[in-house]
């Protein structure tokens, strides 16, 4: 097995080095500055992928023993536990920086760290597979499943259910809780069957949700209360959502006037940053739109159920856009530009998409002023960034 010097890190937090034949190799479990022994798992003509099986020169103050016992059993739920939290956020910052430079062709982009959030016990949303009645998560780099009866990153209200619920013959379960309301919901697939949960948990099957049944829980963020249905997206932690709201407000708060909230979900930004403004919220998901209508009742928001790609843009001085992983892309950027907004807050959950969107926005007349990392998912390579774009 080859030894490789790791020189940088890339999306997914894989270390980057070179094999003796000159090909780039992406090595999971390796950190920049280390020399590692690599088991190559995939050969391509121009690059390879592998896993670090031995580390010769650990980075001083960077590498640590993984705090979760299930990592040693192969659990792939968290892929950055081998790095201290300070190093985790710095690696993520470098990934964002590199993506903005390489994909977005941004010159000297400013990428800042946001405030630190609790590194453990934060996930209020956890989807598990059920194997012989036990919850399980995907193994690293494979479709195998690793049984777990606890999760260090899960919120205590979720963690408790991993140990206390009886999953019986379910195939998969999504556990969702309101950390600040204490409300809990279990979405069980394909049906509830013999699964049982503590009495406070609202339990609903995929089959029931596909029919007429509605099920939701509530969460509080930035002083507002949100209804969140079983199939509606919501940020994975309310303290992180507080920070996202504060960061978006920091970007657009000083610009007066109406706001367009693209990919608006159940109304997180419309109800907070958009409070007191005329808001147009655009969202495609039926369940999220129903929640947004309930959450924004009595406000000045108009909710449009549509794909952003199909929406007929209205003019507004402020746009907040929080797309899924694919980012805005060409069409999304064209919609943003058509609003003639003077200020855009882009919330990105994929650094590659952010880089591409920054390039497209620049071509459409919007300059990147700064990006700020909000580390919503410590221990994992997931990246969340709030960026400010000003119209040229
Ligand atoms: C990352 S979530 C953000 C939601 C909301 N801004 C929040 O913070 O809670 C992205 C949202 O975009 C919606 N979505 C995904 N693709 C879309 C599209 N093409 N057009 C409109 N909405 C879309 C999803 O249903 C989801 O609610």
Angle at 129 between CA 266 and CA 156, to 5 degrees: 60
Q: Which residues contact 17 (CB under 8 A, 6 or more apart)?
A: 4, 5, 6, 7, 24, 25, 27, 30, 36, 38
Burial class (CB in 10 A: 0-12, 13-18, 19+), 391: middle
- Give the residue, by CA position, lying nearest to ligand 1 atom 12: 263
Residue 309: CB within 6 Å of ligand 1? yes
Q: How far is the CA of 94 from the centre of ligand 1 (A)?
A: 26
Query: Which ligand 1 atom minimizes the distance to the CA of 288?
Result: 27
Q: For position 59, which CATH number holds?
A: 2.40.50.140
In a domain, 231, yes or no: no
Contact 370/84 with Cβ under 8 angstroms? no
Do 54 and 187 reside in the same domain of the chain?
A: no
pTM of the predicted protein model: 0.95
Testing ligand 1's pocket by substitution, the residue of 218, 233, 234 carrying the most ligand atoms inside 8 A of its CB is: 233
- Determine the residue of 222, 263, 267, 307 to mutate for testing ligand 1's pocket, defined as the one with the most ligand atoms within 8 A of the Cβ atom: 263
The number of distinct structural domains making up the chain is 3
252 and 358 inside one domain: yes
The answer to whether residue 387 sits within a structural domain is yes
* Residue 78: inside a domain: no
Instruction: State the sign of the Cα–Cα–Cα–Cα dihedral 94, 96, 97, 99.
Output: positive
DSSP 8-state class, residue 135: E
337-385: pLDDT as tens digits? 999 999 999 999 999 999 999 999 999 999 999 999 999 999 999 999 9
Indicate whether 151 and 208 sit together in one domain: yes
| Calpha distance 152→155 (Å, rounded) | 8
Measured from the CA of 263, which atom of ligand 1 is nearest? 12
Q: Which structural domain, as residue segments, surrounds residue 137?
A: 125-220
Q: What percent of the chain has pLDDT over 90?
A: 91
Strand order in the sheet with 134-138: 145-147, 134-138, 125-131, 172-177, 184-189, 201-205
What residue's CA is closest to ligand 1, atom 1? 324
Specify whether 257 is located in the same domain as 308.
Answer: yes
Q: Provide the H-helix boundaries in 144-301.
A: 156-164, 206-210, 238-252, 268-271, 286-295
How far is residue 282 from each of residues 154, 315, 335, measured CA to CA in Å? 31, 14, 11
Query: Is 69 domain-assigned?
Result: no
Same domain, 183 and 308: no
If you ran DSSP here, which 8-state letter would residue 42 be given? E
**Best CA proximity match to 81, nearest among 91, 96, 71, 94:** 71
Tokens of 108: 């000297």
Confidence of residue 212 (pLDDT cuts 50, 70, 90): confident
Kindly report the CATH number assigned to the domain that includes residue 301. Answer: 3.40.50.150
Distance CA 239, CA 125 (A): 14
Q: Are residues 267 and 380 in the same domain?
A: yes
pLDDT in tens, 172-188: 999 999 999 999 999 99
Identify whether 72 is part of a domain.
no
Q: Which of 157, 186, 220 finishes a domain?
A: 220
Residues 6+ apart with CB under 8 A from 291: 216, 226, 227, 228, 229, 232, 266, 267
For residue 93, is pLDDT > 80?
yes
Provide the mean pLDDT of the chain: 95
At 14, which helix (H) or strand (E)? strand 14-18
283: tokens are 């969202």
pLDDT-derived band at 127 (thresholds 50, 70, 90) equals very high
**Confidence bin at 140 (pLDDT 50/70/90):** confident
- Quote the ligand 1 centre to 358 CA distance (angstroms): 19
Task: Indicate if 249 and 377 belong to the same structural domain.
Answer: yes
Report whether pLDDT(18) > 90: yes
Q: Are residues 100 and 209 in the same domain?
A: no
Q: Is residue 353 part of a domain?
A: yes
Structure confidence by residue, pLDDT tens digits, 330-344: 999 999 999 999 999
112 and 134 housed in the same domain = no
Provide the pLDDT for residue 61: 64
Same domain, 334 and 361: yes
In a domain? residue 354: yes
- Is residue 97 scored above 80 in pLDDT? yes
- Tell me, yes or no, whether 55 and 169 share the same domain: no
In a domain, 245, yes or no: yes
User: Same domain, yes or no, for 204 and 311?
Assistant: no
Q: Which of 153, 186, 220 is the last residue of a domain?
A: 220
308 ligand 1 Cβ < 6 A: yes
């Amino acid at each position: 097995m080859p030894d490789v010097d790791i020189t940088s890190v890339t999306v997914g937090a894989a270390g980057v080095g070179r094999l003796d034949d000159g090909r780039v190799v992406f090595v999971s479990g390796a950190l920049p500055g280390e020399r590692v022994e690599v088991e190559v798992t995939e050969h391509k003509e121009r690059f390879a992928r592998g896993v670090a099986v031995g580390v010769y020169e650990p980075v001083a103050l960077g590498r640590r023993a993984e705090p979760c016992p299930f990592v040693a059993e192969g659990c792939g739920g968290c892929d950055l536990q081998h790095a201290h939290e300070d190093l985790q956020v710095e690696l993520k910052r470098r990934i964002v920086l590199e993506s903005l430079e390489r994909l977005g062709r941004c010159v000297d982009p400013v990428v800042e760290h946001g405030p630190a959030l609790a590194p453990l016990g934060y996930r209020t949303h956890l989807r598990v597979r059920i194997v012989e009645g036990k919850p399980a998560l995907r193994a690293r780099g494979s479709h195998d499943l690793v049984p777990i009866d606890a999760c260090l990153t899960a919120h205590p209200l979720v963690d408790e259910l991993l140990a206390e619920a009886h999953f019986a013959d379910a195939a998969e379960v999504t556990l969702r809780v309101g950390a600040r309301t204490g409300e809990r919901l279990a979405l069980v697939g394909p049906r509830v069957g013999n699964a049982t949960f503590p009495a406070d948990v609202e339990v609903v099957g995929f089959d029931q949700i596909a029919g007429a049944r509605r099920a939701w829980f509530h969460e509080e963020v930035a002083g507002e209360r949100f209804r969140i249905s079983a199939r509606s997206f919501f940020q994975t932690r309310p303290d992180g959502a507080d920070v996202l709201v504060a960061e978006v407000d920091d970007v657009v708060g000083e610009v007066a006037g109406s706001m367009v909230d693209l990919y608006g979900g159940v109304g997180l930004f419309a109800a907070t940053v958009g409070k007191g403004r005329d808001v147009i919220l655009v969202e495609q998901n039926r369940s999220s739109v129903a929640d947004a209508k309930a959450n924004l009742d009595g406000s000045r928001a108009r909710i449009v159920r549509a794909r952003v790609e199909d929406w007929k843009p209205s003019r507004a001085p402020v746009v907040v856009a929080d797309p899924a992983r694919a980012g805005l892309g060409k069409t999304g950027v064209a919609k943003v530009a058509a609003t003639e907004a003077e200020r855009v807050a882009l919330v990105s959950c994929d650094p590659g998409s952010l880089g591409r969107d920054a390039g497209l926005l620049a071509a459409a007349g919007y300059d990147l002023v700064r990006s700020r990392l909000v580390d919503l998912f410590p221990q994992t390579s997931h990246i969340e960034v709030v960026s400010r774009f000003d119209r040229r």
